[in-house]
Amino acid sequence: MNTLSWAILGAAAVSFAFKALGPAVLGDRRLPAPAQAVIALLAPALLAGLVVVAVTGPGWKDLDLTLVAGLAAAVGARLCRAGILVAVLAGVVVTALFRLALGA
């Protein structure tokens, strides 16, 4: 397994540990609002980082323009209030069409 796989497994293990230990440690008490805000943003930040790494390639030198077009299509679909599945499908279709057109 490569370093990225280990990083993903480590992040998943830490996330699982937080979710498993939280109720046991806190009981019926609630976390303060700032802590809840930070925890709520951890998953989107991790996902955004993984998307950037996937699009730009290792070392930020292999930018895949077909993925950029698909990502732009997915973002555009979400901005038009489309559902998540529709946005993902739009991204997949646009990426496939660009790869077909470019012969990649």
Residues 35-85: pLDDT tens digits? 888 888 888 888 888 888 878 877 777 788 888 899 999 999 999 999 999
**Per-residue DSSP letter, 31:** P
Token look-up 């930020």 returns 60
Residues 9-18: pLDDT tens digits? 898 898 888 8
Does pLDDT of 104 surpass 80?
Answer: no
Highest mean pLDDT pick, 5-9, 21-25, 56-60: 5-9
Give me the phi and psi of 94, to 5 degrees please: -65, -40
Does pLDDT of 23 surpass 90?
Answer: no
Residue 99 exposed, middle or buried by CB count within 10 Å (0-12, 13-18, 19+): middle
Q: What are the residue ranges spanned by the domains of the chain? A: 1-59, 64-104
Q: What is the pLDDT of residue 57?
A: 74
Q: What is the pLDDT of residue 75?
A: 93
Q: What is the pLDDT of residue 69?
A: 93
Sign of the torsion formed by the C-alpha atoms of 58, 62, 66 and 68:
positive
